[in-house]
Structures are given as structure tokens and as C-alpha cells.
Amino acid sequence: MTTTRARDDTALDTPALDAAEVERVRADFPILSRSVNGHPLVYLDSGATSQKPQSVIEVERRFYEESNAAVHRGAHTLAGEATELFEAARARVASFVGVADDEIVWTSNATEGINLVAYGMSNASLGRGGAAAERFRLGAGDEIVVTEAEHHANLVPWQELAFRTGATLRVIGLEDDGRLRLDEAASLIGPRTRVVAFAHVSNVLGTVNPVERLVALAHGVGALVVLDACQSAPHLPLDLAALDVDFAVFSGHKMLAPTGIGVLYGRKELLDALPPFLTGGSMITTVGLQETSFLPAPMRFEAGTQRVSQAIALATAIDYLDAVGMERIAEWETRLGLRLYSGLAAIPGVRILGPAPAAGTAGGHGAERVGLASFDVEGVHAHDVGQFLDDRGIAVRVGHHCAQPVHRRFGVTATTRVSTYLYNTEAEVDAAVEAVADSRVFFRVA
């Protein structure tokens, strides 16, 4: 898997993260000092949303105190300052994922980004966009390929696109251990395939999918690749140009930034040809009473008042992540993930969804995973497990994690999910594992 960005990263020359440095990192996150239910907060729900360092909180506050104005509108000083900060944030995000500035589109979240692409293709299928949009047009006989492990945000928009256009949605299934059925992918992705959409990292299974293999299959038949990078951008070094995907999305709130800011990456030539989704002010060149001409990307997709403070805060969050070092963060989370998986696997009656970690299995038969584990405790509902942990101040996610099909595939309606990040410690992982074991005693299933 190609993930390393081709850029200067001084963190690569520094030692791996250790417990002492993680404690220093934790001091930057105000919320981690609070107590919950009489216990120190143990926050293990970063897969849903991450906590924010003081620098991110402060930069958003400072923007409102000093430079608040609408961007790309007006000639006054504040408008100029806000626009400069806004576009500098775009450049910062672009460099973080190895692409050009004008290949980054601001959205409210990753879900909006996927819908933007899907609705743009729908508009193209109605004839919008002229000859340039021909490659986006779908109809009866065309196929969209997804996987059984997708988050609803990377499934439902494609279901709707298939409904609107008459295309067929096809699904790559999962092996019993949670890996993608790559032989099935090779047979499903064929001459009729127009789009292949899949997650870089599963938000339920924690597995890192073989991006290069799927991209090669898709591009081999001329299909477009849409990558859900929500669970990879915060945790792994990411070079979207090297991965050779056509579109990708991720959300700021999962990577130390505020809610309300997401990113869509698209190849420049594709973005310029894709008909817009949201229309209105700021995305036009000329407006008549009967017809309108649109700006090139990325502005053609950024109608209305923009998410200015959130974008600036996302750039600051990226500065923070890069200062620690994405390689070092990935290594630390791998260490936590191994500890989490082995601890949970040792508890009788606990079933972890997805394959074992590669570094933790005899014979090397495991898979590359991030520091995340979704599991079922036999005889105890996931919500009860989560409540038991919360009573000890341990925050985890419970439910189907917006991924009902993958839960159905493994015969469960809900799981408890523990997800780690750069500010988590081995002691916190151990506390969660101990609490899971104790929940079996409490609910009398041990």
C-alpha cells in the first residue's frame, strides 16, 4: 500500500512515539483532563470524532476576533485577510495529501463530498455539462461497484445514483475473516463498470484495503475510483496522487479539526468537467435569466457562504499532525491496536469483527489494520457494554456504526467499537479491555 507523501517530513527522522511523548501530546487537549462519572475520561471514540488540541480551538477563536469576513466577496481589508487565510488552508490540505491546490474542494463533511460526485454524475446523465461530461454519464447497462463493508455514506448515494440513471449496483463481498473477496472484485469489475467506490480503511473492521489492486482493476476497464479516506487521512500518511484515485473524501472532525468541514479531492480535469451539485452565488462566471456559466473547479462546487473558520482550523490541525509525524502516529496506533486486539481476543465470549493484525499472528496470516476494533460480547447487547464502560469514564461507540450491511454479513445487529488516536495510552487500552472483561461478570455471562 502506497501511503507515504513525497515531501519533507522531519518527523520521519525522529524516534518513534513513546509513552512520555504521548503524555505531552495529551496536555494539548483540554477535554482529556476532565472526569466522567467520577473517573478520568478515557476517550476511545476517535473513529467517530476526534478531540481538538488547544491550537485548533484558539485559531478558530482568533479568526472570529480578528479577521472574520465573507471570503471572495468585497474589497475591504477583513475580506482580503479572510480570503487569504481560507485559500492558504486549501493549499495546506492539498500538500498534506500530495495534490494540487485546485484539486481540493471544501465540503461540510465527507458525506457531502460523495454526494457531490454522485449528483454531479446524475446531472451529467441528464445531459448537463456537454461533451466534457460524457465520461460521467450513466444509463441502463452501466454498473457501479462498491463493497459489502462500506459506510452508509459510501453506499446510499450510489444506490440513489443507480436508481436515478438505471445503472446497476454491484457489491464485492467479504471473506469470513472480513477481507475483501479480491477474486470476486476481479470478476465484478469489467467493461460495464463506470465507478468503483470503496473505503481505504473500514470503519468497522479496521482493515486497510488494497487500494492499488482495486485501482488497477478499475482503471484497467476505464472506471473512475472514488476513495473514502475518512479513516485513513487521520491515521496514515496519505498521498492521493500516488494512490492514483480519481476522487477521495475525508472529514476534518476525525482529524483534530472542528465539525462542519470536509474535503473532496478530484483530479483537476475531472472536476472541471463534472457538472456542479449545489448552485448559487460565488460559483458562476455569468448569470442570465435563462442560463448560467460556471467557474472552473474548485469554485464551481463551492456555492454560497463558505466554512471559513473551520477550513482555517483544519489547516492548523494538519500542522499539529505533521509536527508529530504521520508515520509516527501510524506506528503508535499500530502498537495500541495490537494491544487492543490481543487483549480483547483473550476474553472468552468476545468476537472481534475482521482479521487479526498482521504483526500479531503466527505465520503472518493477519491483515494490516489501524488501531480500531469492533466486537460482540456474547450474551450482552453492545449498548449495555457501552454503558458499562461509560460508567467507568470510558467513551466508546456502540451500534452499527452506519454500516448495517457489514454487521448483517457477520450475523450481528450491533457491536462495541474501540478506536484509538495519537493521544491514547496503553493504560487506557488496558482499562477498556479490563472493563469489557468485567462487563461479562456484571451481566452474568462469564
Query: What pLDDT is attached to residue 74?
Result: 82
Over the stretch 260-309, which tens digit does the pLDDT of each residue have?
A: 999 999 999 999 999 998 999 889 899 999 999 998 999 999 999 999 99
Decide: helix, strand or coil at residue 415. Answer: strand
Q: Is the pLDDT of residue 361 over 70?
A: no
Neighbours of 351 (CB within 10 A): 16
Query: What pLDDT is attached to residue 10?
Result: 46
Give Cβ neighbours of residue 62 (< 8 Å, ≥ 6 apart).
none
Strands (E), 255-405: 262-266, 284-287, 292-294, 350-352, 372-377, 394-395, 397-399
Return the residue matching grid coordinates 463493497.
147
Query: Cis ω on the peptide bond leading into residue 191 (within 30° of 0)?
Result: no
- Supply the DSSP symbol for 379: T
Average pLDDT over residues 47-70: 97
Return the residue matching grid coordinates 460508567.
391
pLDDT band for 104, please (50, 70, 90 cuts): very high
Pairing state between β 247-251 and 224-228: parallel
Pick from 5-9, 153-157, 232-236: least confident? 5-9
Neighbours of 139 (CB within 10 A): 10
Q: Is the pLDDT of residue 328 over 50?
A: yes
Query: What pLDDT is attached to residue 365?
Result: 52
Over the stretch 399-413, which tens digit does the pLDDT of each residue have?
A: 999 999 999 999 999
Taking only Cα atoms into account, the Rg of the chain, rounded to an integer number of angstroms, comes to: 22
What is the rounded distance in angstroms from the CA atom of residue 308 to the CA atom of residue 306?
A: 6
- Go through the domains of the chain in sequence order and give each one's CATH number: 10-51+325-442 (3.90.1150.10), 58-321 (3.40.640.10)
Q: What residues act catalytically?
A: 402
Q: Are 309 and 60 in contact (CB under 8 A)?
A: yes
Query: What pLDDT is attached to residue 362?
Result: 41
What is the rounded distance in angstroms from the CA atom of residue 380 to the CA atom of residue 444?
A: 9
Rounded to 5°, the CA angle 422-432-318 comes to 15
Query: What pLDDT is attached to residue 14?
Result: 74
Among left, alpha and beta (phi > 0; psi -120 to 50; other), residue 111 is: alpha
What is the rounded distance in angstroms from the CA atom of residue 102 to the CA atom of residue 93?
A: 11
Query: What pLDDT is attached to residue 16?
Result: 87
DSSP code string of 289-330: SS-EEEPPTTGGG--SS--HHHHHHHHHHHHHHHHH-HHHHH
Over the stretch 119-137, which tens digit does the pLDDT of each residue have?
A: 999 999 999 999 999 999 9
pLDDT band for 185, please (50, 70, 90 cuts): very high
Average pLDDT over residues 163-179: 97
Neighbours of 174 (CB within 10 A): 23
